[in-house]
Amino acid sequence: MDVTKLMNRSFLTRTISGAILVAVLLVTGLAGGYLLFGFTLVISLIAVSEMLGVMELKTSKLAYMAYAATIVYYLLIGVGGPDRIDVFLIGYLMAILAVYVITYPRYKTDQVLHSYFAVIYGAVLMSYIFLVRNGDDGHILIWLIFLCSWGCDTCAYLTGVTCGKHKMASELSPKKTVEGAVGGIVGAFLLGALYGFLMQGSIASVSNPVLACGCVCALGGGISMIGDLAASAIKRNYDVKDYGTLIPGHGGILDRFDSVLFTAPIIFYFM
């Protein structure tokens, strides 16, 4: 098959699946409420499953416990909001350690820790998309999550391609450069400031929306790079290319939301 045709087909697939994902996010994000709650729960379960799959725990009893814990967690924050997160973290840790003791020596310590990590990483961090939308000015602030993560990624890519010279993390991502990282953060700040300017009449929870949105997007953009590289590090440790195949051309949920997982809590706590 001609290489050019193959690349064009891959680009088309990636574009279509990306457009569908954005459409779903727009519908659920604008609607909020039970629709966004259900959507976030579903993608959290998929994310937990993907992480457990990489760690070869997808069909173990620890995995089923992780899926149940994810559902319980969402029920808790659906009723009590973010105030119930610490209760869940402590309760789930105690529960999973109880299973570890009762079934000993069936599971190794690292397997128990991996299943706990999968829920925190794939479900708890993901839930901040819903928590931001459910808070003050949530219908406006939710879009900052994706603006600073995906916006930073795009700006970093464009800057890196045009003037990137110094490698940032060559063993994890050979194409990422220091110049690209700086461009991504600056780009995220400008995109956030522009968004704050356009929406300043609708944001009542902060006194200076332009500066606040710009700064929080710059911070979130910088941290989103850590999320991206952390996801890459885990894949390299387990010698896998993608977390899944749910989103054609992109991989799994974790491949597309790896940076979002880190920016969503930033938007929630700083805005």
Q: How far is residue 268 from each of residues 36, 117, 137, measured CA to CA in Å?
A: 16, 21, 11
Q: Tell me, rounded to whole angstroms, the distance of Cα 219 from its chain centroid.
A: 15
203: closest CA among 149, 269, 143, 138? Answer: 138
- What mean pLDDT, rounded, does the chain reach? 90
Does one domain contain both 153 and 130?
no
Mean pLDDT of 71-76: 96
Domains in the chain, number:
2
Instruction: Please tell me whether residues 106 and 169 are part of one structural domain.
Output: no
191 and 91 in a single domain? The answer is: no
Tokens of 164: 């990137």
Q: What is the largest CA-CA distance in the chain?
A: 60
Chain center to CA of 244: 15
Domain boundary among 81, 106, 134: 134
Q: Are residues 165 and 223 in the same domain?
A: yes
Among residues 134, 164, 181, which one ends one of the domains?
Answer: 134
Question: With 50 as the cut, is the pLDDT of residue 6 above it?
Answer: no
Is residue 10 included in any domain, yes or no? no
Q: What percent of the chain has pLDDT over 90?
A: 66
Residue 9 has pLDDT above 70, yes or no: no
pLDDT value at 33 more than 50: yes
Residue given tokens 């519908």 in the structure block: 27
Do 247 and 158 fall within a single domain?
yes
Please state which of the ranges 69-78, 124-133, 199-208 shows the lowest mean pLDDT: 199-208
pLDDT at position 253: 94
Mean pLDDT of 232-251: 88
Record the pTM.
Answer: 0.92
SS3 235: helix
Range of the domain at 49: 32-134
Per-residue pLDDT at 108: 92
Q: Give residue 164's pLDDT band: very low, low, confident or very high (50, 70, 90).
A: confident
Question: For residue 96, what pLDDT is reported?
Answer: 94
- Residue 103 CB partners (closer than 8 Å, separation 6+): 61
Question: Does the residue 156 lie in any domain?
Answer: yes
Name the residue with higher pLDDT: 109 or 84.
Answer: 109
Please check whether residues 146 and 116 belong to one and the same domain: no
Query: Are residues 62 and 161 part of one domain?
Result: no
Query: What do you get for the CA distance between the two ends of the chain, in Å?
Result: 50
**Are 99 and 145 contained in the same domain?**
no
